[in-house]
Each structure stands twice: as C-alpha cells, then as structure tokens.
Structure 1
Amino acid sequence: MSRPDPGQQALARRAYARASAPARTAVQQAALLVGAVFLLVGILGFIPGVTTHYGSMEFAAHHSGAKPLNIFQVSVLHNIVHLLFGIAGLALARAIPTARNYLVVGGAVYLVLWLYGLIIDVGSNANFVPVNNADNWLHFFLGIGMIGAGFFLTRTTSGVGTTRSRTHSAAGVPGRLCGDAGRPAQHWAACVSVHRRPR
C-alpha cells in the first residue's frame, strides 16, 4: 500500500478549506447590497456639493435645508440613521437568519417612517428627522422592497436536500466530515481528497 504524498495532501487541505467556506446566499447578498447603499448614502449626506445647502444642515429639525442631490431632505440625525443601517446590514449579512431579519425588520421600520411622514405636518416640530415628499415615497418603495426580498429570497433555503450527503457517504467519506449538503460542490471533491483513506 503506497503512502499518500504529503505535498498533495497539503494542497488538498488548502483547497478543502477554501471550498468549505459557504457561499453567500441571495438573501445575504441582498442584505449586503442594501447595507452598502445605506452606508454610501450616509457618507454622501456629509459631503458638500453632493448635498446641496450643506451649510443649513441641522442636527434634527424640520428647517434643515440640506438635500443630497438637491432632492431628499436630511439632517445630521438622518445621515446617522443611514450610516447605522448600513453598518447593521454589513454585519447581519454574515448569516441567513440575520440577513433575512435585517431586510424584513428594516423594511418594516421604513414603512413606519413612510406613515410618519404622511401623518405629520412637515412644517412642524414633529418633523424632526426630517423628511419631505421625496423621502416619504423613497421610504415606501424601500420598505416594500426590503420586506419582499427578505421573504422571497428565503423561500427555498429550508428545502436543501441531502442528496450530496448520501452520495459522499457512499464514497466512503464520513458524513460527519463531509455531510453538509448546503456546501458548494467544490467542497465535496476537496473533502474526499483529504479524508479518503488509501486502500
């Protein structure tokens, strides 16, 4: 019985480590994208030129006149909210359940903010965020889109089959080592190469 080549085993282990890292699912990618956009919008809100009337920006008041792209009314508080939502999206995109919750709960928050903008008098102190008509409808479509993505993109994640687990158990690879059916196909080839015993 020939002994396995240590160099080949080392290469196989490195390939296994790379392949065994689970790929991001669609819902994780969506949360990552939304978080990145929020982070970018929050940063742009503090850049003069991109944000017009920058000198009239208030911390939180209805008379804050700063407008990114000369469209959306913002304040320091409004920009901070965008930054926090962005950071949360990047952090919560690491796992499927947290990515889904980020999209669904975040979308619900923006629908509440949309209703808030419709109910209040935008010229009163109640509009402390502040928001204008463009903000309101952006919040509406953003809320619907995030909630829809959170539910739609996770409809099939719980139905992952076990075909790969059975296939690789038949190949003589212990299921406890290579039996995660949710991993990409490259995982299995590398795992078999590492754990198969020479006969």
Structure 2
Amino acid sequence: MHRSSSTVSRPVTGRGPVSGAAVAVAVVFLALGVLGFIPDVTSRYDDLGLAGQHSGARLFGVFEVSVLHNLVHLVSGVAGLALARTATGARTFLIGGGAVYLVLWVYGLAIEQDSAANFLPVNDADNWLHLGLGIAMIGLGVLASRRR
C-alpha cells in the first residue's frame, strides 16, 4: 500500500513535552556537574574540596561547589535522563526534583554557612538558584504534562 506524501506517520511514544522538558533539565544538570570539575570555569579550582563549607571553589566564580556538590548534579542529570523515558517518570523527576531543590533552598537558609552543617556546600547564590530551580522544575512538570 502506498502512502501519499502529505501523510506523515510518526511513532506514538506516550512521552510528550514533559519528557522533552525533563531531558533538557537533566542535560543542564549533567553540564553543571562536569563544568564543576573544569579549572577556569570553576574559579579557585585548587580549593575544590570533597565536601563541606571549606571548599573554596566557585562555579562560574559565583556558586560554591565541592566534589560532592558536582556529583549531586551528575546524579540528578543521570536520574533525569533515565526517568525521562516515560511521561510519568519525567513528571516525577521534574516535580519530585523540584521539591528536593526547594528543600535544599530551605536547608541553605536554615544553616550557618560557616558551620559543619553546610556539607554540600551552599552559599547565597546557590540558595537563590535552588529556589529558582525548584519553582521552574515543578512548573515544567505541571505545565508540560497537561493534556491538550
């Protein structure tokens, strides 16, 4: 049977825009995790610590990072790519991950930045970023998974 050139057949994946949004966010996390290990992108790279508030390294010269912090970004990215395979998984990654970043925001506000409790580490720039990420991820998870 011959199909006309005006008919385009596309496979039905069941994923939709929410999976695309999850992949985009996951790729950003992967990029941030990798960039955190690159000198010159990360200022004071020689001060990059395993964890804790004594890591003096700054991603883009602004965001406090450590090996643990970079690994958290990499794990978030890998989890996002894995969960983006289905619409339900993608939505879970975006909304659940957004909730985790809101918890990190509250954590960053609640702790003393010079204390041992600042194990990731986080600074004021990280706190604002975590708030923005949390809101954006939850918003993407809700809006991109709406049925049209």
Q: Provide the rounded CA distance (Å) in 2 between the counterparts of 1:149 and 1:54.
A: 33
Q: Which amino acid aligns with 1:95?
A: T
| CA deviation map 1:59-81 (0-9, x unaligned) | 11101001111000000000000
Aligned runs of 1:84-95 on 2, under 5 Å?
84-95=75-86
- Using the TM superposition, give the Cα deviation of residue 20 of structure 1 relative to its aligned residue in structure 2, in angstroms: 2.4
1:130 to 110, 121, 125: 121
Task: Give, as a single letter, the amino acid of the residue that structure 2 aligns with 1:108.
Answer: A
Larger radius of gyration: 1
Higher helix share: 1
TM-score normalised by structure 1 residue count:
0.68
| Kept in 1: contact 2:14–2:86 (CA 8 A) | no
Counterpart pick for 1:111 among 102, 115, 124 = 102
SS at match of 2:129: helix
Q: Distance in 1 between matches of 2:77 and 2:12?
A: 24
2:46 to 50, 55, 61: 55
The alignment of Structure 1 onto Structure 2 pairs a total of residues equal to 144
| Contact map agreement 2:92 2:141 (CA 8 A) in 1 | yes
Q: Which residue of 1 aligns with 2:26?
A: 35
Give the one of 153, 159, 175 matched to 2:144: 153
Tell me how far 1:154 sits from its aligned partner: 1.5
Indicate the SS of the match to 2:63: coil
2:106 partner letter: L
3-state SS of paired residue (1:20): coil
User: 1:108-134: CA deviations, max 9, x gaps?
Assistant: 000000000000000111101000000
Whichever residue aligns with residue 126 of structure 1, its letter is: A
Q: CA contact under 8 A between 2:33 and 2:74: conserved in structure 1? A: yes
Q: Secondary structure at the match of 2:54?
A: coil
Distance 1:60 1:97 in 2: 33
The TM-score, its normalising length taken from structure 2, stands at 0.91
Give me the whole-angstrom Cα distance separating, in 1, the residues matched to 2:146 and 2:15.
15
* 2:72 aligned partner: 81
Q: Please tell me the residue identity of whatever aligns with 1:36.
A: V
- Deviation digits for residues 7-47 of structure 1, max 9, x if unmatched? x7xxxxxx96xx32537511111000000000000000000
User: Which residue pairs with 1:179 in the alignment?
Assistant: none
Q: Which residue of 2 aligns with 1:171?
A: none
* Structure 2 stretches lacking a partner, 5+ long: 3-7
Runs of 5+ in structure 1 lacking a partner? 9-14, 158-199
Partner of 2:59: 68
Task: Give the corresponding residue for 2:5.
Answer: none
